[in-house]
Amino acid sequence: MEDQVFLILHGWGGNNENHWQEHLFNRLNSLNLPVYYPALPNPAAPETNGWLNCIRRELTTIARNHPDVPLTVVAHSLGSIAWLHFVGSMAATCDRIAQRVLLVAPPYILPMAPPPDAPQTVSDFFPPPLYPAAVHGTAGETCFICSNNDDYATYEQTQGYGKALQIPVHLLKDAGHISPYYGYGKWPWVEEWCLGNADLPPQPN
């Protein structure tokens, strides 16, 4: 009998083969664990509704194929913000969806002043809904992992998310956007955390 299932959500632009989420997907697959890693639509120019509809479809499939199996969600960057939007849409019911949720390197973008390399559609994800009751109701455990030198959010901004949602924020020092450019190709800690062999706080690559 299955004892866990996984959902991985990528960020804006998707991932290349060196990204730690790719390595995580491959590791879980190699162990014959059920893992869902959808290609969110139009990753180069993401739209909120398109991404949320895709997440809903994946969760419906997971619930149908793996009833009553604990779900772990691992999201990176804009995928983390998309998860907050999804959870916000569940605020009226707060149905339990996941056992554990890891939100890595969530960006903090001012809609009127997005990064110069970001398409306008990215601004539509901000500000994300911050409903602590929904976050705690839909998952047994949710936390942020961020860095002190991320190009897309300061540590203080992510702490603001954490304070508003009443969830922990774990600092991964000098890890940038926690992506391959900053050395987070393979990230052994996150793989072991998913497998229940490592604890928080996170460990560097």
List the domain boundaries for the chain.
5-194
Distance between CA atoms of residues 21 and 50, nearest Å: 21
What pTM was estimated for this model as a whole? Answer: 0.96
The answer to whether 59 touches 101, Cβ cutoff 8 Å, is no
User: pLDDT tens digits for 64-122?
Assistant: 999 999 999 999 999 999 999 999 998 778 789 999 999 999 999 987 777 787 888 99
Cα 158 → chain centroid: 13
For 5-194, CATH number? 3.40.50.1820
Q: Which of 72, 20, 6 is nearest to 177 (CA)?
A: 20
- What is the spatial order of strands in the sheet that 98-104 belongs to? 35-36, 5-9, 71-76, 98-104, 139-146, 169-171
pLDDT at residue 201, rounded to an integer:
97
